[in-house]
Structure 1
Amino acid sequence: MHSEQATLYRPQGPQHRPAAAPPPVLRELLARADVQINGTRPWDMRVNDARAFRRILTQWSLGAGESYVDGDWDCERLDMMFERLLRAELDRTAPGTAKLRLLLEGLRQRLFNLQSVERAHQVGERHYDVGNDVFEAMLDSRMIYSCAYWEHAQDLEQAQVDKLEMICRKLELKPGETLLDIGCGWGGLARFAAERHGVHVTGITISKEQLAIAEQRCAGLPVTLRLQDYRSLQGRFDKIVSVGMFEHVGLKNYGVYFDTARRLLAPDGLFLLHSIGVDRRAPHTDPWIERYIFPNGKLPSPVELAGALEGRFVVEDWHNFGPDYDRTLMIWAERFEAAWLRLASHYDEGFRRMFRYYLLSCAGFFRSRQGQLWQLVLSRPERRGGYRSFRPSAPAERPA
Structure 2
Amino acid sequence: MHAGLHKPETARRSARVDGRFRALLAEAGITVNGRRPHDLRLHDPAVPARVLAQGSLGLGESYMDGGWDCDDLDGMLARLLEARLHERVRGWADLVAGVQAALLNLQSRRRAWEVGRRHYDLGNDLYAAMLGRRMVYSCGYWRDAHGLDAAQEAKLDLVCRKLQLRPGLRLLDVGCGWGEMLRYAAERHGVAGVGITISEEQAAYARELCRGLPVEIRLQDYRDLRERFDRICSIGMFEHVGVRNYGAYFAMLDRCLAADGLSLLHTIGRNAAANRTDPWIARYIFPNSMLPSASQIAAAAESPGEGRLVLEDWHGFGPDYERTLLAWRANIEAAWPRLPARYDERFRRMWRFYLAASIAGFRVRHLQLWQLVFSRGLRGGYVAPR
What amino acid does structure 1 have at the position aligned with 2:157? E
Equivalent position SS for 2:112 = coil
Q: Which of residues 11, 29, 34 in structure 1 aligns to 2:29?
A: 34
Partners of 1:78 and 1:360 within 8 A in 2: yes
- The structure in which a higher percent of residues are helix is 2
* Corresponding residue to 2:113 among 121, 125, 128: 121
Amino acid at match of 1:46: R
Whether 1:327 and 2:323 are equivalent positions in the alignment is yes
How do 1:269-280 residues align onto structure 2 when only pairs under 5 Å count? 269-280=261-272
Does 1:316 pair with 2:308?
A: no
Deviations 1:370-395 (A, max 9, x none): 000000011124x433100111xxxx
Q: How many equivalent pairs are there? A: 369
Name the counterpart of 1:372.
368
Give the secondary-structure state (helix, strand or coil) at the position aligned to 1:280: coil
Equivalent position to 1:91, from 77, 82, 86: 86
Read off the aligned partner of 1:330 and give its amino acid letter.
L
**Could you say which residue in structure 2 is the equivalent of 1:386?**
381
Amino acid aligned to 1:84: R
Q: 1:247-262 maps to which residues of 2 (within 5 A)?
A: 247-262=239-254
AA aligned opposite 1:52: V
Whether the aligned pair in 1 keeps the contact of 2:94 and 2:278 (CA below 8 Å) is: no
**TM superposition shift of 1:101:** 4.2
Q: Are 1:287 and 2:279 matched, yes or no? A: yes
TM-score normalised by the chain length of structure 1: 0.90
Relative contact order, CA 8 A, sep 6+: which one is greater? 1
The amino acid across from 2:78 in the alignment is E
8 Å CA contact 1:255–1:308 kept in 2: the answer is yes
Aligned counterpart, 1:156:
148
Identity level (%)? 56
The residue identity in structure 1 corresponding to 2:143 is E
Q: 1:21 offset after TM fit, Å?
A: 8.7
Counterpart pick for 1:67 among 62, 65, 70: 62
Residue identity in the other structure for 2:38: W
Given candidates 220, 223, 233, the residue that maps to 1:241 is 233
Map Cα deviations across residues 330-361 of structure 1 (whole Å, 9 max, x no partner).
Answer: 11011101001011533210011111110111
What's the counterpart of residue 47 of structure 1? Answer: 42
Q: State the Cα distance separating 1:100 from its structure 2 match.
A: 5.1
Q: Deviations over 1:129-176 (max 9, x none)?
A: 001100000012120000001101110010000000000000001111
Cα deviation code 1:292-313 (max 9, x no counterpart): 1000000001111111112252
Report the 3-state secondary structure (helix = DSSP H, G, I; strand = E; otherwise coil) of the residue aligned with 1:347. Answer: coil
Aligned to 2:109, what secondary structure does the other structure show?
coil
* Structure 2: tracts of 5 or more residues without a match: 1-13
- The one-letter code matched in structure 2 to 1:33 is A
Whether 1:134 aligns to 2:126 is yes
Aligned partner of 1:109 among 85, 101, 109: 101
Is residue 268–residue 384 contact of structure 1 (8 Å, CA) maintained in 2?
Answer: no
Match for 2:352 among 352, 356, 360?
356
Q: What is the one-letter code of the residue matched to 2:44?
A: D
Match of 2:3 in 1: none
| Cα drift, residue 90 of structure 1 | 1.4
User: Which of 343-352 and 238-247 deviates more?
Assistant: 343-352
Q: How does 1:146-295 map to 2 (within 5 A)?
A: 146-295=138-287
**Does the Cα contact within 8 Å between 1:183 and 1:245 map onto a contact in 2?**
yes
Distance in 2, matches of 1:22 and 1:343, equals: 40
Tell me whether 247-256 or 337-346 shows the greater mean CA deviation.
Answer: 337-346
Provide the residue aligned with 1:81 in structure 2: 76
Please tell me the residue identity of whatever aligns with 2:138: S
Where in structure 1 are there 5+ consecutive unaligned residues?
Answer: 1-18, 392-400
Give the secondary structure class of the aligned counterpart of 2:94.
helix
Deviations 1:248-292 (A, max 9, x none): 000000001100111100011110000000011235311000111
Report the AA paired with residue 325 of structure 1.
Y
2: CA distance, partners of 1:347 / 1:213: 20
- More off after superposition, 310-319 vs 230-239: 310-319
Q: CA deviation at 1:23?
A: 1.5
TM normalised by structure 2 equals: 0.93
Q: 2:340 & 2:56 partners in 1: Cα distance?
A: 27
Question: Retained in 2: the 8 A contact 1:22–1:37?
Answer: no
Q: Retained in 2: the 8 A contact 1:20–1:50?
A: no
One-letter code of the match for 2:41?
R
Q: Which residue of 2 aligns with 1:58?
A: 53
* Aligned equivalent of 1:342: 338
Distance change >3 Å, CA 386–CA 334, structure 1 → 2: same
The range that moved more, 279-288 or 115-124, is 279-288
Shift of 1:47: 0.7
Larger-Rg structure? 2
**Counterpart code for 1:162:** A
